[in-house]
């Protein structure tokens, strides 16, 4: 058996001075830091100031018994290990003490003083295991939290476009499918806006691809700021974006599209004066559910056609599906 850790604080409680001295002496010889109390009441006072990891207590003492003391201690400090000392006559009480959470019991008078050290050693080993267990549980909890955070970030990354930070094409398609199901079931409306940057090839040709990328990021931010949190903005691909507007009919969508068009026109994009229209502009096509289609591919096609018409009508404009 391993020796008791040096200087473990142990509280020894017995109304019999001789017994206190014997137990305190044996445990002190092992290098522990012993405090003694002559009654359960005194022990409670001492324990409340600073809890002890290990307590030896007699059962039969003045007014308050060792069992009452045990309950009080376990309530204050569940991890404290309590060893009950009893005479042969009250073995039943010892069993009751174990049921109340005592770690072990010693029967008085002691045949062998080594029994005291042995039981103390076992109790301390248990204390160490409990502490180690605690540490492992905390470590596991922290690891789980880190994992949860990492999963959240990964999940979010998987549905985002790397350049603009807005949703990607795949997430848009999934959201559109869900929106169709939802709107079908509840007879709701929703609209789609397809948006394409005007003459973007010219911008890239003049300022270079990296500057073009900056325009796309800035544009996404301008669009995002104009929308409600319930709207879904996604980069459809290249210099095209799509916006899903729940609970919005064609007229509502046209108003929002016009607001977006205006906001982009007003924004001072770097180098925009070289663009054919003197600024960075966008064209948009609007299609509404169920007016222009009841499935994703029809709606997408109608919005794209409307966008194409906006382009052919001169760009920097909004057009609804016919
Ligand atoms: P239109 O008004 O008809 O839309 O003219 P456009 O020049 O915008 O259309 P076109 O389809 O001819 O060219 C699109 C350009 O967008 C060409 C391509 O290099 C550019 N582009 C697409 N994706 C990106 C991107 O991620 N970054 C940059 N910088 N340019 C992109
Ligand atoms: Mg395009
Ligand atoms: Mg374009």
In this prediction the pTM is: 0.69
Around Cβ 301, how many Cβ atoms within 10 Å? 15
Check pocket membership of 285 for ligand 1, CB cut-off 6 A: no
Residues of the chain with CATH 3.30.70.270: 169-320
In CATH, what class is 169-320? alpha beta
Indicate the pLDDT class of residue 2, thresholds 50, 70 and 90: very low
Q: What percent of the chain has pLDDT over 70?
A: 98
For CATH 3.40.50.2300, list the domain ranges present in the chain.
Answer: 9-135
**89 pLDDT band (50/70/90 cuts)?**
low
Q: What is the pLDDT of residue 6?
A: 58
pLDDT digits (tens, 9 = 90+) for 189-240: 999 999 999 999 999 999 999 999 999 999 999 999 999 999 999 999 999 9
Distance 221 CA to ligand 3 centre (A): 18
- What digits encode the pLDDT tens for the residues 54-69? 999 999 898 999 999 9
114-129: per-residue pLDDT in tens? 999 999 999 999 999 9
Q: How many Å apart are CA 59 and CA 85, to the nearest integer?
A: 6
Q: Token pair of 222, please?
A: 């301008």
Output the pLDDT for position 90.
74
Average pLDDT over residues 42-53: 96
C-alpha 200 – ligand 1 centre gap (Å): 4
Per-residue pLDDT band for 1 (boundaries 50, 70, 90) equals very low
pLDDT of residue 96: 87
CATH number for the 9-135 domain, one of 3.40.50.2300, 3.40.1280.10, 3.40.50.620, 3.40.50.720? 3.40.50.2300
Average pLDDT, the chain: 94
Does residue 190 have its Cβ closer than 6 Å to ligand 1? no
Sheet with 318-320, strands from edge to edge, namely 232-237, 240-246, 190-197, 282-289, 318-320
Tell me the mean pLDDT in the region 248-275.
Answer: 98
Ion ligand 2, residue ranges at CB < 5 A: 196
């Amino acid at each position: 058996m391993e020796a008791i850790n040096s200087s473990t604080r142990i509280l020894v409680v017995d109304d019999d001075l001789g017994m206190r001295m014997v137990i305190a002496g044996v445990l002190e010889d092992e290098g522990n830091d012993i405090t003694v109390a002559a009654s359960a009441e005194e022990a409670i006072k001492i324990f409340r100031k600073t809890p002890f990891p290990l307590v030896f207590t007699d059962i039969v003492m003045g007014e308050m018994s060792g069992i009452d003391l045990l309950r009080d201690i376990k309530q204050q400090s569940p991890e404290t290990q309590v060893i009950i000392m009893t005479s042969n006559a009250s073995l039943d009480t010892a069993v009751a003490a174990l049921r109340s959470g005592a770690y072990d019991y010693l029967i008085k008078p002691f045949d062998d003083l080594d029994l005291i050290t042995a039981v103390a050693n076992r109790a301390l080993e248990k204390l160490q295991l409990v502490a180690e267990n605690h540490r492992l549980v905390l470590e596991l909890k922290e690891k789980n939290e880190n994992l949860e955070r990492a999963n959240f970030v990964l999940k979010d990354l998987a549905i985002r476009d790397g350049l603009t930070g807005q949703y990607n094409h795949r997430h848009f398609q999934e959201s559109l499918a869900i929106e169709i199901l939802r709107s079908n079931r509840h007879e709701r409306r929703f609209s789609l806006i397809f948006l394409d940057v005007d003459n973007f090839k010219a911008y890239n040709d003049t300022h270079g691809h990296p500057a073009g990328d900056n325009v796309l990021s800035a544009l996404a931010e301008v669009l995002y700021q104009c929308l409600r949190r319930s709207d879904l903005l996604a980069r459809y691909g290249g210099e095209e974006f799509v916006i899903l507007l729940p609970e919005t009919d064609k007229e509502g969508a046209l108003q929002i599209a016009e607001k977006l068009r205006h906001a982009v026109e007003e924004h001072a994009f770097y180098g925009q004066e070289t663009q054919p229209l003197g600024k960075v502009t966008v064209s948009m096509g609007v299609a509404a559910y169920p007016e222009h289609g009841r499935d994703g591919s029809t709606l997408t096609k109608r919005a794209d056609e409307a966008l194409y018409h906006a382009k052919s009508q001169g760009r920097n404009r909004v057009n609804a599906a016919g």
